[in-house]
Amino acid sequence: MRYADYKGKNVLVLGLAKSGVSAALLLEKLGARVLVNDVKPLSESEEAEKLLERKIRVIGGTHPVSLFDEEDFDLVVKNPGIPYRNPMVRRAQELGIPVITEVELAYQISEGEFIGITGTNGKTTTTTLIYEMLKEGGLSPLIAGNIGLVACEVAQEARRDQPIVTELSSFQLAGIDRFRPKIAVITNIYDAHADFHETRENYVSAKKNITKNQLESDFLIVNDSVPECREIAESSRANVIPFSAEKFLEEGASVKDGFICFRGERVAAVKDVALPGRHNLENVLAGVAACKLLNVPNESIAKVLKTFRGVKHRLQFVKNVNGRLFYNDSKATNILATKTALSSFDRPVILLAGGLDRGYDLSPLIPSLKNVKALISFGQTKHQLREIGEKAGIEKLAVVDNVEEAVKKAYDFSESGDVILLSPACASWDQYKSFEERGDIFIEAVHRLE
């Protein structure tokens, strides 16, 4: 672990969860005086108990701004999900106290170099693909970040020769200072997280942070089909590597004559790629570019592309039940993700959708419903989605209470050869703790059909 000078520093960790606990434990190891604050009462938090056992101070049940009058903090480490309009964060900024996220800590202590992947959609798939291809190519990569493994935990174990493949959300990137990935990837940029960032400009700016500290010796891999990606590339000091599924790029990653190419060299046949959908072809191109920069052999890349069938909850094939193909795309928490999923299939689809009502107009889904033969809706948006189904001319429509009922109804509506797709177009928090829980319940319901 690389040395980081936190000995004797007063640090406030805002928010528990996995990243807050890991940050607090790391800071204590580095010699800092740590105070953790979470809005959840201590009696309801197993994480708080873990820290209190280590004699780390924890204040729960409220966010007391008065702490800044009582303590002389040198730094605030914020849980990525806490918005910058939070009174504690605002007070820290007013006082000129740096506010970072734990991925910044990870960078400061890591021996290994980072490969950072961000974007509106495709982050997890691209991150996992790169990790698998590097591993197949004989490297010893680690995987971390928004994918579920806390970066500052993983970074403590990294050797100098181990790249850390890290999925990075806009929430994490908004709180970096010196973080500098050797290779940065931006899969795409679309509208998302307006409730957190407040403006699209703020959202794009957070994504742009992935390259703000890069130098000429680093690499920035960007989607050439997305205007904001091209604009970010123009202002970056890094060596820019574009990718495109739409046109051939002599100096980037693209497709020509049925082959995935990097800088004109054939790497693998498109027909051999196991992941369905054009959007996944873009993820593949981004991943191939990153791995070729690290000299992974073509055979290793091709082998992974033939066998990699996706990440759980991201257009994940679940099971063939009497000729019906079930796919779990619970991670599709916005309209664009569901439109992308629907475009991946050229056979009849029965769509399961619905969830948290954020006040968005869901009618932009209508043009993508041409192959949808039945729509089963649930959650807070279930009636809005039924109306959309009527406008799209879908004959079979049903409103149900939850995902389990949706699976049963979908099977009743289906016949052999149909795709039954959970792609909700909405967040899960009206009924489920997370999109993962929603997806797991879908999978369990599918397996119970037989």
pLDDT < 50: residue spans in the chain = none
What is the C-alpha separation between 105 and 178, in angstroms, rounded?
A: 9
Dihedral sign from CA coordinates of 46, 17, 109, 147: positive
Q: Is 123 annotated as a binding residue?
A: yes
What is the C-alpha separation between 269 and 259, in angstroms, rounded?
A: 4
SS3 letters for 293-351?
A: HCCCCHHHHHHHHHHCCCCCCCCEEEEEECCEEEEECCCCCCHHHHHHHHCCCCCCEEE
Q: Which helix (H) or strand (E) holds 32?
A: none
Residue 333, judged by CB atoms within 10 A of its CB (0-12, 13-18, 19+), counts as: buried
* The pLDDT of residue 198: 62
What is the C-alpha separation between 34 and 10, in angstroms, rounded?
A: 6
Six token digits for residue 48: 């708080």
**DSSP states of 208-229:** HGGGTT--TTSEEEEETTSHHH
Q: How many CB atoms lie within 10 A of CB 109?
A: 18
Dihedral sign from CA coordinates of 137, 141, 145, 148: positive
| pLDDT, tens only, 268-281 | 999 999 988 888 99
* The pLDDT of residue 369: 97
Q: Is 124 annotated as a binding residue?
A: yes
Q: Give the chain's end-to-end CA distance (angstroms, integer).
A: 50
Q: What number of CA atoms fall less than 13 Å from residue 412's CA on the CB side? A: 11
Residues in the chain: 450
Q: Is 120 annotated as a binding residue?
A: yes
Position 37, amino acid: N
Q: How many CB atoms lie within 10 A of CB 278?
A: 11
* The pLDDT of residue 159: 94
Q: Is 62 annotated as a binding residue?
A: no
> 380 phi and psi, to 5 degrees?
-65, -30
Overall pTM surpassing 0.95 (yes/no): no
**Residue 401 CA, distance from chain mean position:** 28
Query: Which domains does the chain possess?
Result: 10-100 (3.40.50.720), 103-307 (3.40.1190.10), 316-448 (3.90.190.20)
What is the C-alpha separation between 260 and 253, in angstroms, rounded?
A: 7
What is the C-alpha separation between 236 and 264, in angstroms, rounded?
A: 24
What is the C-alpha separation between 91 and 93, in angstroms, rounded?
A: 5
Residues 325, 317 contacting (CB under 8 angstroms): yes
Cross-strand partners of 376: 352, 398
Q: Is 340 annotated as a binding residue?
A: no
